[in-house]
Amino acid sequence: MTVTHTSTPREDGFRMPGEFEPQAAVWITWPERPDNWRDGAKPAQRAFVEVAKAIAEETPVFVGVSAAQFANARTRLPAHIRVVEISTNDSWVRDFGPSYVVDGKGQRRGVDWGFNAWGGLVDGLYFPWDLDDQVAQKICEFHGDDHYRAPIILEGGSIHVDGEGTLYVTEECLLHPSRNPSLSKSELEGVLKDYLNLEKIIWIPRGLYNDETNGHVDNLIHLAKPGEVILSWCEDPKDPQYEISREAFEVLSSATDAKGRQLKIHKLHVPGPLHMTAEEAAGIDPSDGMEREAGERLAGSYVNFLITNGRIVMPLLDPAWDDKAKQTLEGIFPDHKVVGVEAREILLGGGNIHCITQQVPAV
Q: Which residues pair with 28 in a beta bridge?
A: 63
pLDDT at 287: 82
Q: What is d(CA 325, CA 262) in angstroms, rounded to the nearest whole number?
A: 24
Task: Note the pLDDT tens digit of each residue in 93-127.
Answer: 999 999 999 999 999 999 999 999 999 999 999 99
| Structural domain harbouring 192 | 4-361
Q: pLDDT at position 5, please?
A: 97
Total domains present in the chain: 1
CATH number, position 266: 3.75.10.10
- Give 288's pLDDT tier (boundaries 50, 70, 90): confident
For the stretch 325-355, pLDDT in tens is 999 999 999 999 999 999 999 999 999 999 9
Whole-number Å distance between alpha carbons of 220 and 128: 28
Is the distance from CB of 65 to CB of 83 less than 8 angstroms?
A: yes
290 pLDDT exceeds 90?
no
In this predicted model, what pLDDT tens digit does every residue of 168-178 receive, in sequence order?
999 999 999 99
Q: How much is the mean pLDDT over the chain?
A: 97
What 3-state class would DSSP assign to 262? Answer: strand
pLDDT at 170: 98
- pTM, rounded to two decimals: 0.97
For position 24, what pLDDT does the model report? 98
Burial class (CB in 10 A: 0-12, 13-18, 19+), 2: middle
**Bridge-based pairing state of the strands 108-114 and 146-153:** parallel
Q: Could you give the residue numbers annotated as active site?
A: 355
Confidence at residue 212, expressed as pLDDT on a 0 to 100 scale: 95
Rounded to 5 degrees, φ, ψ at 179 are: -105, -80
pLDDT at 289 exceeding the cut of 80: no
pLDDT tens by residue, 245-258 = 999 999 999 999 99
Please give the Cα distance from 226 to 245 (Å, whole number): 20
pLDDT number for residue 292: 86
- Amino acid 169: pLDDT: 98
Strand partners, 147: 4, 110
Calculate what percentage of the chain has a pLDDT beyond 70. Answer: 100
Confidence check: pLDDT of 291 > 90 = no
Report which DSSP code applies to 15.
Answer: B
- 23 pLDDT band (50/70/90 cuts)? very high
What does residue 327 show for φ and ψ, rounded to 5 degrees? -65, -40
End-to-end Cα, the chain, rounded Å: 19
| CA distances for 28 relative to 82, 87, 254, angstroms | 10, 12, 36
Average pLDDT over residues 159-170: 98
For 25, the enclosing helix (H) or strand (E) is strand 23-29
Tell me the residue type at 344.
Answer: R
- Using the Cα atoms of residue 113, residue 114, residue 117 and residue 118 in order, give the sign of their dihedral: negative
- The amino acid occupying position 88 is T
Give the separation between CA 100 and CA 140, rounded to whole angstroms. 9
CA-closest candidate to residue 99, choices 56, 139, 63 = 139
In angstroms, the CA 66 to CA 192 distance is 32
